[in-house]
Amino acid sequence: MYAGGDPDFLNKLFAVFLEESRGQVTALRAAFAEGRLDQLSHAAHTVKGSLRLLGAEETAAVAERLELVGHASRLEGLKPDLALFESQMARLLQWIEARLAAGTGATS
């Protein structure tokens, strides 16, 4: 994580991530449902960068798979990765919300 040990800065990163990532997850889901692979790829790319910034490498890797599938213009076989991504994001968002509610940026 790139907060340099500063809990206030980390909390700011978390708050921005919460605000922006929900929209990206919604956009990704809608793009998949509507078969708009360019938009799916863009949303996955955007959230992937944020996930890597926060150190959520496993979820970032799933986002990268979604991004690459979007670039390849293939929807087949994407549903399991999308479900995994949504599940991991839900857990991550809950974890961040709990840390912010507790007023701490601690990562343990």
Domain boundaries, the chain: 7-100
Query: Angle CA(16)–CA(59)–CA(22) in degrees, nearest 5?
Result: 35
pTM of the predicted model as reported, rounded to 2 decimal places: 0.80
pLDDT given at position 51 = 93
pLDDT digits (tens, 9 = 90+) for 17-50: 999 988 889 999 999 899 898 899 999 999 999 9
- H or E element at residue 53: helix 37-54
According to CATH, the topology of domain 7-100 is Four Helix Bundle (Hemerythrin (Met), subunit A) (1.20.120)
